[in-house]
Structure 1
Amino acid sequence: MIGIVAPQTYSRWVVEQREGRTPKPVGRPKLVRNLCELVKRLAKENAGWGYRRIRGELRKLRLRLGRSSVRRILKDAGLAPSPNRRGRAEETVWQKFIRLHLDTLVACDFFTKSVITPLGTRLAFCLAFIHVGTRRVYLSSPTYEPNERWVLQQARNTIMWLEECGLECRFVLHDRDAKFSFAFDRVFFNAGVRRVRTPLLAPDANASIESWIGSLKRECLNHFLCFSLAHLDHILRSFVGFHNEHRPHQSLGNRTLPEAATGPPVEIPSTPAPWLGRIKCQRFLGGLLRHYHREAA
């Protein structure tokens, strides 16, 4: 026995046995069964969620669980892993500009959605704005004719939205689409906001808003057929409200936007009790979007 373990370890075992002390458990603490069931529930009810997205939803419920633990639970349950993500490349001059002006930068871009009408299919246009630092989103009402008058009104509405939310803006970023006219930039210039256009041959230069539009289409729009502008507007408003109020964001430490606005992230202690409380699910758009929260006592 002395050859297997150190003499000090053997002496400690003898003392513990003589005094009747129970040795301390080794290794990681076991996961609560209810917590494992909750992780599997989130994965089954939300097929597009990866490990980090599930971990963010748990953090919103004040439950602390590591990414490797989420992966192990899902692997043991035979559930598919999260998709692979690209590694980070070396920072470019453009990326440095975005990083330095993160809290005063608003990015915008157009996207479209086909609408089925009695006269055939028509293409609706929407203009989305995102305050890059806070991740808050403002969305225009859809239209079939994005003329200059309509675009100018969206610029004015965005400036009023920034003032209402108390968000600082010094730069507005957009691509070289002809719909972003000189008059559009002038509205922002009069409000003290400088225009920044994306470089040529740089499809990922406006990544913040394009990434959000991609999430909007994957998680919401691609699941619906729209039959009027009012129908499309309802779907868009529901998703934007969910994004701004309930969705945890990885770039903000897996916190919701209202929580991130309160200050630095708060360390979440491990749950010592096996009882997690009753977890309620609030559904949006017929259950396509889900928000989990604890039932009020």
Structure 2
Amino acid sequence: MTFHLVYRFGCLPLGWLRLLARSSAAKDAEILVLRHQLTVLQRTSPTPAFTPGDRALLAALLRLLSKRHRSALKLLVTPRTVLRWHARLVAKKWTYPHRGPGRPAKPEALRALVLRLARENNGWGYRRIPGELINLGWKVAVSTVWEILQRADIDPAPRRADRSWAKFLTAQAKGILAVDVFHVDSVFLRRFFVLFFVEHGSRRVRIAGVTRNVTAQWDTQQARNLLMSLDDTHTAGIRYLIRDNAGYFTEGFDAVFTAVGARVVPILPGVPRMNAIAERWVGSCRREATDRILITGERHLRLVVDEYADHHNEHRPHRSLGQRSPDSADAPEPPVVDDPSRVIRRNRLGGLIHEYAQVA
């Protein structure tokens, strides 16, 4: 026992002499390593564990110590583990971020542009859109456009083009003229017929005539009168005439319009929606005028439908024209006011129809 104590006390001075030979940096690094290990051991929630910051600090400090000194320290982990931490730090600094498998995702702006071109051009397929994108500065593969359209539930093939009758009417609206006849019964139970034309593009209505008996000669003459009242530019713009299959629309009537280069399109039997614009105006005229007035005769009916046609063309708003009337569709928008006292009312058909306007 005495010999053991003498040996221990003899080794202490030798250890002190060895510490004197070491540099201050090595001793400071060893002290910091031991202190940080104590800090880790003091954590009790839930158990002592090394955080990424702890690993980085210990790896950096132990790098300052020699291999022999690292082996002599009482570490919570093995020196091999610390060296592995250091290798991870080096790899994280100099290794590029890992990218997942597959091609990189396309920019959101490109995806939005592809979908916009597909929705605004029904006949463009996945092979047509890439050509347009090249003109806009985007070089995109055909397969990429296909994938974008598929994910948006849009058929990539051009078969999705809408060839319905409604689409045709919308595309050709500026060159379409529709004609129809509707009847009104007078208070004396006499039936009168009104012949009118509607321009699809402007929604302008033109009353051609009112009669008790519609004949082929009468409606053919009314068609001539209509074309004579139009200027040459307006007449040349008529490309299609839509009419029903009534017996008074004969070859002579059609010849009046084919002579100016228009194509006559009869509607199919039992399909009034093919002449929907004209049918819509008949419904409006009945609800707002003729069904609310007792018509006494032909002259009275002509005054009523002419007055309503003027109201329709000059004032009545249309959703297809942006809530503007046919005559004001191309005019500048009225100024915005906040004074309701500047609004006046104008009566039509004896107060049956009201029109409102701003005071100048």
TM-score range, shorter chain: 0.5 to 0.7
Q: Which has the higher contact order (CA 8 A, sep 6+)?
A: 1
Separation in 1, partners of 2:211, 2:272: 25
Which amino acid in structure 1 is aligned with residue 224 of structure 2?
R
Secondary structure of 1:206's counterpart equals: helix
Among 208, 221, 224, which residue is 1:156 paired with? Answer: 224
Is the counterpart of residue 259 in structure 1 residue 259 in structure 2?
no
The answer on whether the counterparts of 2:196 and 2:206 sit within 8 Å (CA) in structure 1 is yes
Separation in 1, partners of 2:195, 2:163: 28
Secondary structure of 2:186's counterpart equals: strand
In the TM superposition, 1:286-297 aligns within 5 A as 286-296=350-360
Decide which structure has greater helix share. 2
Separation in 2, partners of 1:164, 1:217: 33
Mark the runs of 5 or more structure 2 residues left unpaired by the alignment. 1-160
Q: 1:278 to 1:199 in 2, by over 3 A?
A: same
Please say which structure displays the higher CA radius of gyration: 2
Q: 1:177 to 1:293 in 2, by over 3 A?
A: same
In the TM superposition, 1:238-277 aligns within 5 A as 238-262=307-331, 266=333, 271=337, 275-277=339-341
The answer on whether the counterparts of 1:109 and 1:129 sit within 8 Å (CA) in structure 2 is yes
Q: 1:112 to 1:217 in 2, by over 3 A?
A: same
1:270 CA drift (Å): 6.3
Q: 1:196 to 1:222 in 2, by over 3 A?
A: same
Is the counterpart of residue 222 in structure 1 residue 291 in structure 2?
yes
Secondary structure of 1:280's counterpart equals: strand
In the alignment, which residue of structure 1 is the partner of 2:193? 125
Q: 1:233 to 1:269 in 2, by over 3 A?
A: closer
Alignment root-mean-square deviation, CA: 2.2
Length, aligned pairs only: 199
Is the counterpart of residue 135 in structure 1 residue 206 in structure 2?
no
Separation in 1, partners of 2:351, 2:268: 40
In the alignment, which residue of structure 2 is the partner of 1:110? 181
In the alignment, which residue of structure 2 is the partner of 1:99? 170
The answer on whether the counterparts of 2:267 and 2:275 sit within 8 Å (CA) in structure 1 is yes
Secondary structure of 1:140's counterpart equals: strand
Among 183, 189, 197, which residue is 2:252 paired with? Answer: 183
Separation in 2, partners of 1:115, 1:165: 39
Separation in 1, partners of 2:336, 2:301: 42
Among 203, 207, 213, which residue is 2:282 paired with? Answer: 213
The answer on whether the counterparts of 2:208 and 2:223 sit within 8 Å (CA) in structure 1 is no
Separation in 1, partners of 2:351, 2:267: 37
The answer on whether the counterparts of 1:106 and 1:131 sit within 8 Å (CA) in structure 2 is yes
Separation in 2, partners of 1:258, 1:165: 17
Among 109, 133, 146, which residue is 2:214 paired with? Answer: 146
Secondary structure of 1:134's counterpart equals: coil
TM-score (norm 2): 0.52
- 1:25-60 deviation per Cα after TM superposition (whole angstroms, max 9, x unaligned): xxxxxxxxxxxxxxxxxxxxxxxxxxxxxxxxxxxx
The answer on whether the counterparts of 1:138 and 1:161 sit within 8 Å (CA) in structure 2 is no
Secondary structure of 2:196's counterpart equals: strand
In the alignment, which residue of structure 2 is the partner of 1:59? none
- 1:213-253 deviation per Cα after TM superposition (whole angstroms, max 9, x unaligned): 10000011100111110111110110011111111111100
In the alignment, which residue of structure 2 is the partner of 1:48? none
The answer on whether the counterparts of 1:136 and 1:257 sit within 8 Å (CA) in structure 2 is yes
Tell which deviates more after alignment, 130-139 or 154-163.
154-163
Mark the runs of 5 or more structure 1 residues left unpaired by the alignment. 1-89
Identity of aligned residues (%): 33
In the alignment, which residue of structure 2 is the partner of 1:278? 342
Q: 1:91 to 1:227 in 2, by over 3 A?
A: farther
Secondary structure of 1:135's counterpart equals: coil
TM-score (norm 1): 0.62
